[in-house]
Amino acid sequence: MIDKLFIERTDNLFLQFFRYIFVGGTAFIVDFVTLYFFSEICGIYYLFSGVLSFLISVLVNYQMSTKWVFNPDKIDNKILEFNLFIIISAVGLIFIEILFYFFTDILGIYYLLSRVISAILVMFWNFFARRYLFYGKEI
């Protein structure tokens, strides 16, 4: 059972989503810590810090997703694979920044809590877009 959940390659939607939660969680921790660092330590405006932290977390997410969550055997060209991943991530960045601004500036929620809410919502876009558009798997 442990092998099926964590080790064996799979196309199963639920197993991939389960794994993606771990990958997304790890990438989110990187995003959250770097957001705090850039905003609080470096004094960068939170929306700009959000872009920088998101970009760093995307690199973590790419490495973990392509090695562990999805089966990228269909894509032999790693440059194409990375570029497709970045395009999907860029759309996710647009979504997350809009939500981040909305929750923080419009609703008045503390920016770190806004990031948590925004990231959870955008996680679904990222997973399904990568699974369907990127790897050609049915939803």
Residue 132: C-alpha distances to residues 33, 116, 138 (Å): 30, 25, 6
In angstroms and rounded to an integer, the radius of gyration of the C-alpha atoms of the chain is 16
pLDDT value of position 139: 46
Domain boundaries, the chain: 2-134
31 touches 118 (CB < 8 A): no
Tens-level pLDDT at each residue, the chain (139 residues) = 666 666 666 677 777 778 878 888 899 999 999 999 999 999 999 999 999 999 999 899 888 877 776 665 556 677 887 888 888 888 989 999 999 999 999 999 999 999 999 998 988 887 788 777 766 655 4
Dump the DSSP string for 41-63.
IS---HHHHHHHHHHHHHHHHHH
